[in-house]
Amino acid sequence: MKKIKLNFLFLIYILILFIVNTLIYNNFFSDYILNLANFSDLQWSPSVLFVNKIDVYKSFYDNNLKNIIFSSGFPNYSTVSIYLHLFISKMSFQDATLVWFFLFNIIMIYLYLILKNYTNLKELKIFFILIIFLMSKPYMLLLSKGQFSIISLLSFFLYFLFKNKKSFLGFYLISVKYSFFPLALFHDVILKKRFKYFVYTVLLTFIFVSHYSYIFNSNFFDNLIAPLLIGKYSAASGVLDIQTLLGNHPKNDFIRYIILLILGLVIFFIIQKNTLRNKIFDMSICSLLTLLIFKHLYYDFVLLLPVLLYVSKINKKILKYCGLLIICYFWFFYLNSFTTSFLYSKIFMFSNFIFLNLLLIIVVISNLKENKNFLLNKK
């Protein structure tokens, strides 16, 4: 009986998933997300240019990139992202977003199964949490135009919940989008005490850049740093992160990024030294620090999904409800007709930065070593 019930719940989830995603894809919720899904970081253009023997990095260095890139699909991710999108390079952009729509559905179904089989959460709780996630504004913005962050989100779950090949696959895919990578790297080196994932990732990246350089007979080093430079000039302002709040201070880009890396490393080290180990907790910490320190747009707040999973397990009601309230704020109330006029004002950004820090504090307090799991519900 239990098996039939669980299968029925899963089928209901799939039905709701396809209905909601179809409505999102057809812009049914455009007013709800304030028609802000007018751009896409889908790496369709770079892959199309690649198969047509056009060097997208050379176009950048020649100041011609904006003339050949459709929408906002600038190649500001790791070079491997161009290769990952070759399967849509022969399609029109509309067909490519349709393929991405089906990929979204597959990922969300797989995510349900991951949570069901690799966490100790009850399936009914998983069901409702994912339904809430489907209705969140970051998720809708993510699906509307084919943003890559859905791959990054899945990669977090693969890396943290699996072992060996799937874990490394998750780690490597996280590295594709540079702003997601540092905290996963800190986790792997400091907590896992292993360097092989990072070494393999560097080697694979070098192989793809080398192949790209060979194809276009271009400079390896120029191609290696091109995505970072393109990101600097093409990425929009972040939502609330320290990188955005700092602006151009200090003026040297390298020094500024080193400061962010050291800050992230120190905070992560302090947290892991004073907390108990729990996979969902560790994923939540990496997600929150990623959003707090490095530049991210609003749709990247899908990374709060593991945080929601964790907060739902906290026993202490005041902590749980405050955590849920903050997540609901960012998913449903942060973006509205009133706030759009000052989304990028420093005061508003700083206020939201404080809110997200409060969420981080709630998560950390619930899992301090001195509490000995008193505040955390096993189920």
How confident is the model over 276-300, as pLDDT tens digits? 999 999 999 999 999 999 999 899 9
Say which DSSP state 336 is in.
S
For residue 79, what pLDDT is reported?
A: 94
Q: What one-letter code names the amino acid at 102?
A: F
CA atoms within 13 A on the CB side of 184: 28
Residue 297 contacts residue 236 (beta carbons within 8 Å): yes
Examine the pLDDT at 373 and tell me if it is beyond 90.
Answer: no
**Is 379 contained in some domain?**
no
- Rounded to whole angstroms, the Cα distance separating 67 from 64 reads 6
Residue 79 contacts residue 209 (beta carbons within 8 Å): yes
**Is 99 contained in some domain?**
yes
CA atoms within 13 A on the CB side of 361: 9
Residue 315 contacts residue 365 (beta carbons within 8 Å): no
**Is 377 contained in some domain?**
no
Residue 323 contacts residue 160 (beta carbons within 8 Å): no
Residue 324 contacts residue 270 (beta carbons within 8 Å): no
- Rounded to whole angstroms, the Cα distance separating 258 from 22 reads 42
pTM for the model stands at 0.93
For 314, phi then psi, to 5°, come to -75, 130
- Other CB atoms within 10 A of residue 43 CB: 28
The least confident of 15-19, 29-33, 36-40, 241-245 is 36-40
Cα dihedral sign, 289-128-297-197: positive
pLDDT, one tens digit per residue, over 213-251 is 999 999 999 999 999 888 888 777 788 999 999 987 888
**Cis amide bond preceding 46, omega within 30:** no
Domain encompassing residue 203: 2-371
**Is 378 contained in some domain?**
no
What does the pLDDT average to over 150-155?
95
State the DSSP H helix or E strand holding residue 349, giving kind and residue range, or none if neither: helix 346-365
- Rounded to whole angstroms, the Cα distance separating 224 from 159 reads 25
For residue 379, what pLDDT is reported?
A: 53
Look at the chain and report how many structural domains it folds into.
1
Among 268, 315, 313, smallest CA distance to 287 is for 268
Spatial CB neighbours of 66, under 8 Å, sequence gap ≥ 6:
none
- Rounded to whole angstroms, the Cα distance separating 71 from 75 reads 12
- Other CB atoms within 10 A of residue 374 CB: 10
For residue 39, what pLDDT is reported?
A: 64
**Is 96 contained in some domain?**
yes
Radius of gyration over every alpha carbon of the chain, rounded to an integer in angstroms: 21
Examine the pLDDT at 319 and tell me if it is beyond 90.
Answer: yes
Examine the pLDDT at 1 and tell me if it is beyond 50.
Answer: no
